[in-house]
Chains A and B, each alone.
Chain A
Amino acid sequence: MQPLTIRRIVLTCAVLAAVLFAVSVISLKLGAYPMSARDVVLTLVRRAIGHTDAIPSDFRLVIFGLRLPRIALGILVGVALSVSGAGFQALLRNPLADPYVLGVSSGAALGAILSLVFTPHVPLAMQGAAFLGAAATIAAVYFLGRRGGQLDSATLLLAGILSASFLSAIIMFLMTTLSGRDLRGMAFWLMGDLSTAPPDWNLLGSLYVVLLAAVGAIYTTSSDLNLILTGEQEARHLGVNVGRVKLVVYVSASLLTGLAVSVSGSIGYVGLIVPHVMRMLFGSDYRILIPTTALGGAIAIVAADTLARTVVAPTELPVGAMTALAGAPVFIYLLRRRLP
């Protein structure tokens, strides 16, 4: 009997953070402009200690102007999508829940597009609208997924998949009529992409604040989620305030999905695969699952995006294509294993 300790969580997270750092260095190194790992690390160290004058100007442009903002964005999106996936899995008591599969990402994308049309210059309006779109979609899917007063696993997934398809059709309609067959925009909202110009550091900073607040809020409920996962009634009898926990997870996970979709479009399956891989590696206790899933999601997106922009260089694939290539087979595997 070895109960989970804070020490174990910190050590595990330190290892994953090191992996994330390594993946990020590789990502900084790879691309059309060749750089050695040594150059990358040296540039980062020089910047960290304030010797910016010693950095060659093209290194500065490639690393700090192009690749690092994209990695920072990838980390944000990876953390947000994977933690919201883990959150939805507990909230809906469904191991196959994922913001993309459930249509939540499509709802967020629709919200973001509508805000682009109606409130194009209001700061953070797009994020707010994406959050509302995500929250409304998950609420609709939740009620559509109920049969006889009970949440039915298969009905819930079907409701999610149908919502995703319905919302995607509306998105295509809007993109076609509003911006005259904007195919790149369509690919962005339906597949997800990190190659569009990343937000400036100030906006990125405020998005990170929201990210940390939402992940923190879900983390405070992780002991409760462990009990809810073994049974809602039982959790209630053990003293869990199930209604409050569900509200916190519902709002935070919707916020995280909205946040990710507003900057990267609908990247799929990260919220499904990453929590499952982390469960296999570190167990299903949410106290360790949330932080490891956050770091794992960041690693997954940075790695997937690096592949997306290098495998068929100089052309770039949308990162969502990479995650779907890996994610859809995993989804089918889990579906066959879990559902009777």
Chain B
Amino acid sequence: MNAPGSISPQAASPGMPEKQAPPARLKVEQASYAYSATDRDAPLFALGPASFEVRPRELVAILGPNASGKSTLLRLLAGVLPPLSGRVQIEGVEASQLEPRARAQRVALVQQESALLFPLRVWEYVLQGRYPYGRRLRFESQEDCVMAGNALAQVGAEHLRDRWMDQLSGGEKQRVILARALAQQPLLLLLDEPTQHLDIGGKVELLRRLRRLADENRYAVVVVTHELNLAAEFSDQVVLLHRGKCLRVGPPADVYTRELLEPVFETSLEVEISSRGRPRVILRGNPEADSAGLDDSSVPEPS
């Protein structure tokens, strides 16, 4: 279990037997969505029914080419969008029915951050994650500060806490944004393309960190990403989307087949299975066998 004072999902029940598979934290049953035709700015887009479950300690990757519906699915999971049909339940409660604060205590959604209007220190930013736990006009308690400190420690960013947000590097900023999400003590951690502006080292480090957070702190993590090989390396399940359809859900080794991936990503590729049983995608037609995302040898073993 967690060390005393450490930050972890607030509803994790300590008495739960460790051997049995825990009940699903997130349950998606035939959830679908369609953008309204009356909205002039959004193209008409429908996300077909998707079903899967995410348990504590699981890391699930949502994969698919651009405009396949990944971010829409993530917003359904976050309860920001109500499903057109089907259900999205977080610990048995319909996500979109939750009152905003109650939802923010259960779900943390990390998106590409907006530009800050006025300068802000890292610790002030992370303390914002404690907002759902107070009254409307709130002043942070000692406990909030401890939680924010722990969240920074969990992402290895304690040393950044007095820095200004706009003076951080891309990787540092991504860690601080993650820390704010952890300060929410969510049951479910959702990330929308968190690796987008990171270099390859930063991408590996972030995925490894998410893996560790899931393993050690019982988070249920869902990541939208374009990184096929990193997703294969670190996730327990992948959800493959294509043009608004949920094509396949399952462990990476089941989903990563040439027959399935080639038409989806519209490129020639091969799938190898590494010695650890993890699939790896290699782009075809390249004599040096460049991998689609990452060379296998540089990826450390997930803990």
A291 to B207, CA, bound (A): 44
Residues of A within 8 A of B123 (CB): 1
Interface residues of B in 106-122 (CB under 8 A from A): 107-109, 111, 113-114, 116-120
Residues of B within 8 A of A236 (CB): 80, 100
Chain A proximity of B97: nearest CB distance (Å) = 15
* A1, B118: Cβ atoms closer than 8 Å: no
Does A233 interact with chain B (Cβ within 8 Å)?
yes
* A223, B131: Cβ atoms closer than 8 Å: yes
* B117, A229: Cβ atoms closer than 8 Å: yes
* B108, A226: Cβ atoms closer than 8 Å: no
From B111, B114, B139, B144, give the contact of A230 (CB < 8 A).
Answer: B114
Interface size on B (CB < 8 Å)?
A: 41
Residues of B within 8 A of A5 (CB): 139
* B131, A240: Cβ atoms closer than 8 Å: yes
Tell whether A3 pairs with B132 under 8 Å between CB atoms, given A95-B117, A219-B137.
Answer: no
Tell whether A230 pairs with B137 under 8 Å between CB atoms, given A239-B104, A240-B100.
Answer: no
Residues of A within 8 A of B120 (CB): 230, 284
Does B128 interact with chain A (Cβ within 8 Å)?
yes
Best-buried of A1, A6, A93, A287 by chain B (most CB within 10 Å): A1
Residues of A within 8 A of B161 (CB): 1
Interface residues of A in 269-289 (CB under 8 A from B): 279, 284-285, 287
A94 to B180, CA, bound (A): 24
A59 to B54, CA, bound (A): 79
Does B149 interact with chain A (Cβ within 8 Å)?
yes
Contact with B along A204-224 (1 / 0, CB 8 A): 000000000000000111111
Tell whether A237 pairs with B118 under 8 Å between CB atoms, given A1-B145, A4-B139.
Answer: no
Residues of B within 8 A of A313 (CB): none
* B118, A233: Cβ atoms closer than 8 Å: no
* B125, A239: Cβ atoms closer than 8 Å: no
A226 to B125, CA, bound (A): 10
A322 to B239, CA, bound (A): 64
A103 to B289, CA, bound (A): 62
* A284, B118: Cβ atoms closer than 8 Å: yes
Residues of B within 8 A of A233 (CB): 111, 114
Does B101 interact with chain A (Cβ within 8 Å)?
yes
* A1, B113: Cβ atoms closer than 8 Å: no
* A287, B139: Cβ atoms closer than 8 Å: yes
A287 to B119, CA, bound (A): 16
* A227, B118: Cβ atoms closer than 8 Å: no
A4 to B161, CA, bound (A): 16
Chain A proximity of B81: nearest CB distance (Å) = 12
Best-buried of B102, B116, B125, B129 by chain A (most CB within 10 Å): B116
A-B CB pair tally, cutoff 8 Å: 88
Interface residues on A, range: 20 to 34
Does B276 interact with chain A (Cβ within 8 Å)?
no
* A220, B136: Cβ atoms closer than 8 Å: yes
Does B148 interact with chain A (Cβ within 8 Å)?
yes
Residues of A within 8 A of B125 (CB): 230
Residues of A within 8 A of B184 (CB): 238
* A222, B113: Cβ atoms closer than 8 Å: no
Residues of A within 8 A of B138 (CB): 223
From B41, B100, B111, B139, give the contact of A239 (CB < 8 A).
Answer: B100
* B140, A230: Cβ atoms closer than 8 Å: no
Chain B proximity of A13: nearest CB distance (Å) = 15
A220 to B135, CA, bound (A): 10
* B149, A1: Cβ atoms closer than 8 Å: yes
Does A149 interact with chain B (Cβ within 8 Å)?
yes
Does A329 interact with chain B (Cβ within 8 Å)?
no
Best-buried of B102, B118, B138 by chain A (most CB within 10 Å): B118
Interface residues of A in 130-168 (CB under 8 A from B): 148-149
Does B127 interact with chain A (Cβ within 8 Å)?
yes
Does B124 interact with chain A (Cβ within 8 Å)?
yes
Does B221 interact with chain A (Cβ within 8 Å)?
no
Contact with A along B253-275 (1 / 0, CB 8 A): 00000000000000000000000
Counting from the closest, the 6 A-B pairs by CB-CB distance are A231-B114, A239-B104, A239-B101, A284-B118, A3-B140, A239-B132
- Residue pairs across A and B with Cβ atoms less than 8 A apart, 17 shown, are A1-B162, A3-B127, A6-B139, A95-B118, A148-B41, A220-B136, A223-B134, A224-B136, A230-B116, A233-B111, A237-B80, A237-B104, A238-B132, A240-B131, A241-B100, A284-B118, A284-B119
Q: Using CB atoms and an 8 Å cutoff, list the residues of chain B in contact with chain A.
A: 41, 78, 80, 100-105, 107-109, 111, 113-114, 116-120, 123-125, 127-129, 131-132, 134, 136-140, 144-145, 148-149, 161-162, 184
**Apart from the given pairs A230-B114, A230-B125, A231-B113, 17 other A-B contacts in the complex at a CB distance below 8 Å:** A1-B149, A3-B127, A219-B137, A223-B137, A229-B117, A230-B116, A230-B117, A232-B114, A237-B80, A237-B104, A237-B108, A238-B184, A239-B103, A239-B131, A284-B119, A285-B124, A287-B137
